[in-house]
Structure 1
Amino acid sequence: MTQKADDPQDWGRGESPEQRADRRWGDLLQELRVAQTGVQILFGFLLAVVFQPRFAGLSDTDRHIYLVTVLLGAATTGALIGPVSFHRLLTGQRLKPQTVDWASRLTVVGLILLLCTMASALLLILRVVVADSLALWLVVGMVLWFIVCWFVLPFWARAISRPTDN
């Protein structure tokens, strides 16, 4: 099978769809290892907070923020571990390219949920440390920073690296 030089999927590589799926799966696993470790540590700390003496003194608002944060952390954990389940349940079904596509989408959902979890956790912590209005502005600033680092820069790099049509 001849590969088309104008197909952006094939620039710089002479891979079959299966080889490309194998490579992409390996790359995705490495990315997930980093994200899952951070999420598991964050989620573990969130679960422990409720057993701390100061928890009883939190306001109703802070308790609600905590509840949302824990639920977001659980959802993030599910989304970032989901690709492992996809792979395990679909192994041997000759669906590797589709599995990688679905796992990649689920990973992006996990990153968005992680952004929300981080924002919520920061809001809870900063409300205890500084004034509520300042806490909100600091969280907004951090969310914008995460969006730039996690989404804007990769999309920008992708846009400027595409060869122009001649």
Structure 2
Amino acid sequence: MTEANDHRDRGRDETEEERADRRWGDLIQEVRVAQTGVQILFGFLLTVVFTPRYEQLPQTEQTIYIVTVVLGAAATGALVGPVSFHRLVTGRHIKPATVRWAGRMTVVGLILLLATMTAALLLILRVATDDEYVPWLVASVLVWYLLCWLALPAWIRSRRSGG
């Protein structure tokens, strides 16, 4: 099979560099959405420790808070990483590899964002409501995140590749 036929079989007639440019544009738009969410959440989390209420929290909630802040910092790093990565390797003629690595960083960032949001929800609900319901509420929201972020896209992808 020739390279030209190979491109058509993938649904687009584009070179590897053109595909990398397109995929980079798509990726950076996706990262912008996730970055905004994680930065707002992380910014809010950073302020909590400076409130008078923080000192009154039991040790368990303070530990959940610290874990949540660390997860938020890690998510921020992973989701900002693709921009820095791209900037540092621009002009080196390795855009396809850059897009692959940036895509991996984005997936890691989304997983860390999922963990941050789940931990923040756990903390907020433990402080705001009866502990007996918290595990059920957090588990329900986590299942919802997993359905929206992983299961539905995987299901659509499998239907597309199978048909």
For the superposition of Structure 1 and Structure 2, which TM-score range results when normalised by the shorter chain? over 0.9
Task: Report if aligned partners of 2:7, 2:13 keep a CA contact under 8 Å in 1.
Answer: no
- CA distance in structure 2 between the partners assigned to 1:48 and 1:26 by the alignment: 33
- CA distance in structure 2 between the partners assigned to 1:34 and 1:91 by the alignment: 23
Report the TM-score when normalising by structure 1: 0.93
Deviant stretches of 4+, over 4 Å: none
Alpha-carbon deviation of 1:5? 6.7
- CA distance in structure 2 between the partners assigned to 1:23 and 1:163 by the alignment: 25
Matches within 5 A, 1:35-46: 35-46=34-45
Alpha-carbon deviation of 1:163? 5.4
Task: Report if aligned partners of 2:122, 2:138 keep a CA contact under 8 Å in 1.
Answer: yes
What corresponds to 2:6 in structure 1? 4
What is the letter of the counterpart of residue 47 of structure 1?
A: L
What are structure 1's unaligned runs of at least 5 residues? Answer: none
What are structure 2's unaligned runs of at least 5 residues? Answer: none
What corresponds to 1:131 in structure 2? 130
What corresponds to 2:105 in structure 1? 106
Q: How far does the alpha carbon of each residue in 1:87-106 deviate from its partner, in whole angstroms, 9 at most, with x for none?
A: 01110111100000010011
CA RMSD of aligned residues (A): 1.3
- CA distance in structure 2 between the partners assigned to 1:55 and 1:162 by the alignment: 50
- CA distance in structure 2 between the partners assigned to 1:93 and 1:6 by the alignment: 27
Alpha-carbon deviation of 1:4? 2.4
Report the TM-score when normalising by structure 2: 0.95
The count of corresponding residues between Structure 1 and Structure 2 is: 161
Identity %: 60
